[in-house]
Amino acid sequence: MTITISFRFSLPWMRSEKLAGGHAVFFIYTGFCVIGIWRGKAVGVLSEAIRGIANDPEWLTLNAPAMRLACRRAAAKARAEYQAIKQWELDRAYEQIGELQQKLNKEQADNYAMSRIIARLGREDVQ
């Protein structure tokens, strides 16, 4: 098992990817870094990639814009998912507020009706 750490800001979450050949890699996004857990044959794929970069340093500079774009897209997707969840929670909270207001209005109306009945019964007892 090999662990890689990349420092970057992201939303906290976890994902698993399948590499070519079906090897699983797990990525844990902690918010300030990404921890990659490479197991089994995925370690060989990682070491081949590292050797490829070491043999051809231009590979990294040529692919850097694409890597940055992919990182921005992934962050935008994570942000959109997070905002969708928060929007759903907010909508649900507004629904609950509406339900509670309706319940309160009904109880207040019942209390008002009961106070009117008590007042009328009190007047009838006096007469």
Domain range list for the chain: 1-55, 58-127
Q: Are 56 and 21 in contact (CB under 8 A)?
A: no
Write down the pTM of the prediction: 0.41
Read off the pLDDT of residues 72-82 as tens digits, 9 standing for 90 and up: 777 788 888 88
Read off the pLDDT of residues 41-61 as tens digits, 9 standing for 90 and up: 666 666 666 666 666 666 666
Q: What is the pLDDT of residue 92?
A: 95
